[in-house]
Chain A
């Protein structure tokens, strides 16, 4: 039986990060993954990630995946694909199906990084072709280049539902509406805002009650729910859609760990009991990433690396001093991601009313998915500066992210030590209108406003990630934060540059009094 210092199950962000750390510490590492390609779900993440530089913020997920694979290769990690781990046993042995044979391997340490599966909710017609997981839609369009449908109803307003809805639009698919049984948008306000301003409605306190069709989906019905989440008769609304996507949470895939006999607990699904480095109650068996508790890819990479370091230290490949250093660094990195409005301790809370700075959180953002015109002025990213071009940062919740601060070389933007702080725009600093902050914002919440364009006109520069790019001189309408037309607009320019990684800077000309209202551009005349 072949033996490895470290066996990693799952070649996603957590598994690969652990494997790289282990191999770089001198361990003989093997990674097993049931898929034909490594990277887990990272390669379908085409949006820019949040965090700080050390979390690879403002880098698109699939590029982080490419880097992980390159690092794994450089470190000498052996990755076995199409290798289905079917069993994990207490003596740190795994049973693997490879091609048409069953193999057994032994690891002196084992890391389980099997990730998560999508939750689903049953409703009438949910077995019809056309009803699918949001992740399925994402896989079809971002990995295989095939539209999952032509018009989608999204169920779930958490970050997955919001991010996938936006990516559907980017893939040329219409999104009819986003539905959530909860009374508040679940995901980041910035993710919701970039959908609402394109005109997509949110139906909160609503649930999907029916998918219609005989052979495949031809429509869907939603209804309002009462406080116990029961549909209220008479409140039904019908949508002409051919696809219903469900983004109603994820559950850890912990069957292998349960099989091994380690202690488990419930954290939104069964997870192993682990210490601060990811070691389970079975010495030498570790867990990292979503299988140990649902989070996202950035924290999976950190917990993976931490577990890899702990495994290396356990076997003597990494000295105690080096381990203490890596571990302190990883724990600090993780702590940064665990602060703010959406921190694990705030999960499920609906009573939050203030930001960490003591500013009232936007009620409208929670209820309708956009900031109201009346609320916008109270945030520190929005200055009252009326002379010359300047950034307007509509970032109103404490989310762990700070690339905008580094993007501005002229000191216009300050976030400070804690990366969950709201960005502050310094009205005194000289903005040159380079737009690097606009492109760096993973939440697409930064705009450049110039009220002095002349002739009573102002320009608004916005992040734009749709094709075709509008041409200079093109006329259309400016849409407000709520997606409704606010005025006529003309395209001044649409700038693209490699440094902005496919986020174009679209500048439109609008009447001066609309500069704080116009937030999107549409060439189609809206009804």
Chain B
């Protein structure tokens, strides 16, 4: 499903939009404008955006904003969301306290 998005492709300059101040990631309070700007600064995969701005790294782990961020990324890149890869999925899939995470049992 993934197609390589050449980061040298010209997607034009970042142009402010009236709805840029919309909160997209509710946990980390990241706006649509911040995400769009990051894309124009070179973050062209979901994983890069997550690392750069933290949408999807908050308590809910991208459960709410994942799809919205993908839609924004697709629109800025001029493609469809279906061809973009999700953020890398890795355990723990749910937020867990370090104290619990280190408490290995049932070997």
Contacts and interface: CB of A to CB of B under 8 A. Distances in A.
Report A-B touching, CB under 8 Å. Answer: yes
Interface of A: 1-2, 34, 84-88, 95, 97, 100-105, 117, 119-124, 126-127, 251, 253, 255-256, 258-259, 264-266, 269-270
Interface string B16-32: 00010011101000001
Given A2-B106, A34-B94, A255-B89, 14 more contacts: A86-B94, A87-B92, A97-B92, A101-B103, A101-B105, A101-B106, A102-B100, A102-B101, A103-B106, A120-B64, A253-B63, A255-B93, A265-B1, A266-B82
Contacts of B106: 1-2, 101, 103-105
B10 interface: no
B22 A123 contact: yes
Contacts of B103: 100-102
B75 to A, nearest CB: 12
A265 B84 CA distance: 10
Given A122-B68, A266-B82, A270-B86, A87 B105 contact: no
B23 A127 contact: yes
Contacts of B100: 97, 100-102
A123 to B, nearest CB: 7
A124 B21 CA distance: 9
Nearest to B63: A117
A264 B2 CA distance: 10
A259 B86 contact: no
A127 B26 contact: yes
B78 interface: no
A87 B93 contact: yes
B9 interface: no
A452 B27 CA distance: 64
A88 B1 CA distance: 21
B6 interface: no
Contact of A269 (B32, B61, B67): B67
B22 A259 contact: no
The prevalent SS among residues of A at the interface is strand
Contact of A86 (B24, B64, B93): B93
Contacts of B24: 122
Contacts of A258: 86, 89
B91 A95 contact: yes
Interface centre among B23, B67, B104 (most CB of A within 10 A): B67
Interface in B35-69: 61, 63-64, 66-68
Given A86-B91, A266-B1, A97 B26 contact: no
Interface centre among B32, B81, B82 (most CB of A within 10 A): B82
Nearest to A101: B105
A104 B107 contact: yes
B96 interface: yes
A348 to B, nearest CB: 13
Contact of B22 (A87, A102, A124): A124
Given A101-B100, A123-B22, A266-B1, A259 B105 contact: no
